Amino acid sequence: MSEKNLPNTTSIRDSVVTITGGTGSFGSTMAMDLLRKGVGGINIFSRDEAKQDAMRRRTDDPRVRYFIGDVRDTDSVYQAVRGADFVFHAAALKQVPSCEFFPEQAVKTNVRGSYNVIEAAAKAGVRSVVCLSTDKAVYPVNAMGMTKALMEKTAQAFARNNPNCPTTVSLTRYGNVMYSRGSVIPLFIQQLQAGKPLTLTEPLMTRFLMSLEQSVDLVYHAFFHATAGDLFVRKAPASTVETLARAVASLLGNDDPEIRVIGARHGEKLHETLLSREEMAKAEDQGGYFRVPLDARSLQYELYFDDGETRLAGLDDYTSENTDRLSLEETKDLLLTIPEIAALTERGVA
């Protein structure tokens, strides 16, 4: 059953959702949550048949269908979004170092690929498309962030240029999602279990921290409440990398871990920014998150020249340096909300 053209519905029940990058950490968590909520069907779209096969066995639910394809290939995207009510676009090249070395690949997937997803969803009459972005897209210094910033611009331009399109395109921007595949927390755990020193890039580096479960909620909010071109940001606390490393170690029974400082990697910032001050000036505080509406002014600037932004002075960027800073104990508490970590500590793995 389709929920298309039912703007007041607040339920995902019985609708069909396509998740690009659906075998990644975020995509697969989202899929499990959708199944629990009674979704009618999920289309998992990704390049990796082995990960799809593993997910098929793990999930074992006839509501989930799997599509092999690549966001660079429009036809393959269209097959996966046809008949969907909602699209969550999480497919991306997202590792900072690999994008630094292969920026043209990041452009193809993150920029052009996102354009393909939006176009295909609009052509298929999808109700709402939510694109996943990152704090690294704000004042970007690395290719990953730059291509995600251009993805944001692509989505916003689509919304601005197609005001009558029934497909609502919006963005969600997050900081580091804890325990996602290839990220630092699983690495610290591996290092501790192997009896190796914890490698810290720069102990004072800060990162916004949030759990996958917390991150998923914002996607639903965007599905149902976004106006075309909206950008949503989840408020989040932050910790230093050293606090994070010590918290992981402490939970695994080691209060005095050996630490080796290795220096920042290619393209890394000391602190991340979730919203620039220019965005803060327009942001609507919605409690757990901020909503930044589209700047829908046309190219006829002279019409608007008298109506510019006047609230910039006195506002700060929203950064991992000035947000709530977690102590060691608070970081441990947050880490314990990750089921994999809670399970490790219950088993007393040290």
Ligand X SMILES: O=c1ccn([C@@H]2O[C@H](COP(=O)(O)OP(=O)(O)O[C@H]3O[C@H](CO)[C@@H](O)[C@H](O)[C@H]3O)[C@@H](O)[C@H]2O)c(=O)[nH]1
Query: Which residues form the catalytic set?
Result: 136
- Pick the closer one to ligand X by CB: 79 or 142: 142
The CA-based angle 83-85-89, given to 5 degrees, is: 100
Answer yes or no whether residue 211 interacts with ligand X by CB under 6 A.
Answer: no
Closest alpha carbon to 218 in 155, 291, 279: 291
Footprint of ligand X on 84-103 (CB under 6 A): 94-96
Listing DSSP states for 87-124 in one string gives EEE------HHHHHH-HHHHIIIIIIHHHHHHHHHHHT
**Alpha-helix residue ranges (DSSP H) falling in 208-295:** 212-225, 241-251, 277-282
| Crossing angle for the helix pair 328-335 and 241-251, to the nearest 10 degrees | 60
182, 212, 208: which is closest to 92 by C-alpha?
Answer: 182
Q: Is 143 in the site for ligand X (CB under 6 A)?
A: no
User: Rounded to the nearest whole angstrom, what is the least distance from the CB of residue 305 to ligand X in the complex?
Assistant: 36
Say which amino acid occupies 176: N
Applying CB under 6 A, the site for ligand X has a residue count of 19
- For the bound state, the minimum distance from the C-beta of residue 63 to ligand X, rounded and expressed in Å, comes to 28
Q: What are phi and psi of 254, to 5 degrees?
A: -125, 105
The residues near 188 (Cβ < 8 Å, ≥ 6 apart) are 198, 244, 245, 248, 249
CB-wise, 97 or 166, nearer to ligand X? Answer: 97
Q: Which lies closer to ligand X via its Cβ, residue 64 or residue 155?
A: 155
User: Considering the complex, what minimum distance in angstroms separates the CB of residue 187 from ligand X?
Assistant: 5
Which residues in 146-205 contact ligand X (CB under 6 A)?
Answer: 175-176, 183-184, 187, 199-201, 205
At a CB cut-off of 8 Å and minimum separation 6, what does 115 contact? 154, 158
Does 230 help bind ligand X (rule: CB under 6 A)? no
Count of beta carbons in the 10 Å neighbourhood of residue 156:
22
* Residues between 286 and 345 that touch ligand X (CB under 6 A): none
**Which residues ranging from 11 to 50 are in contact with ligand X (CB under 6 A)?**
none
Q: Which is nearer to ligand X, 268 or 278 (CB)?
A: 268
Interface stretch with ligand X, choices 21-29, 134-142, 163-171, 226-234 (CB under 6 A):
134-142
Which residues ranging from 267 to 286 are in contact with ligand X (CB under 6 A)?
268, 272
Q: Which is nearer to ligand X, 272 or 317 (CB)?
A: 272
Contacts with ligand X, residue ranges (CB under 6 A): 94-96, 134-136, 175-176, 183-184, 187, 199-201, 205, 207, 241, 268, 272
